[in-house]
Amino acid sequence: MNIILASTSPYRRQLLSRLRLAFTCADPAVDESDLAGESPPDRACRLARQKAQAVSSAAGQSATIVIGADQVACLDDQILHKPGSIDGAVSQLRACSGKKIQFWTAVSVQCHATRAHFQQLVPCEVVLRALTSAETERYVALDDPLDCAGSFKWESLGITLFESMHTADPTALEGLPLIALCDLLRQVGVSLPLAAQARQH
């Protein structure tokens, strides 16, 4: 069994490692530009599917199963992109202080042999508590969330910023919903948990 994660994200790689599967990672090199009129959930689904398909096509026969994922974060009608800088992260958190952020995380599984494609979309709602300027600046300095949409790492110190979180799958907030992924993998014949001899050592 050959499994490829169509992502270079260290967060997704770490999450997939929890399933104890042997896998490799590949850069899908997909254009992630916004499409006019596309809704956030549709954007997440489109990009997850395109990532899986791009890596599956590039890998050819060596690709048995390819996993693609994408996440879109929204504050009201505005998409929150990765801040990329300290000032950007502080500004994003200040804008989100005391408000609800909606995350849409899609995961796609492409089976090369059968050309079958399966996908799920998992929503997650996060409400941040009212943050002071000092708290915001201190958090960004400590947790360095510059590559995270929403400018926080909930699996780390970012949880201190939360008032609440509502989702069927908490791992969706990190970018790879494992409950949904396990269901999709079972649909393409991967029985989890794997027998010991099939696991990654």
The pLDDT tens digits of the residues spanning 31-60 come to: 988 888 899 999 999 999 999 999 988 877
Residue-wise pLDDT tens digits, 106-120? 999 998 878 889 999
Tokens standing for residue 152: 């926080």
Q: What is the pTM of this model?
A: 0.91
* Whether pLDDT at 150 is above 90: yes
pLDDT at site 13: 97
Backbone CA torsion sign across 17, 147, 175, 95 = positive
**Would strands 65-75 and 3-5 be described as parallel, antiparallel, or unpaired?**
parallel
Mean pLDDT of 186-201: 72
Position with higher pLDDT, 165 vs 196: 165
The chain-wide mean pLDDT, for the chain, equals: 92
Per the residue annotation, which of 70, 87, 144, 183 is the catalytic one? 70
| Known catalytic residue at 70 | yes
Which CATH number does the domain 3-198 belong to among 3.30.1360.120, 3.30.1300.10, 3.90.950.10, 3.40.50.12500?
A: 3.90.950.10
Q: Is 181 helix (H, G, I), strand (E, B) or coil?
A: helix
Tell me the domain boundaries of the chain. 3-198
Distance between CA atoms of 31 and 87, rounded to whole angstroms? 26
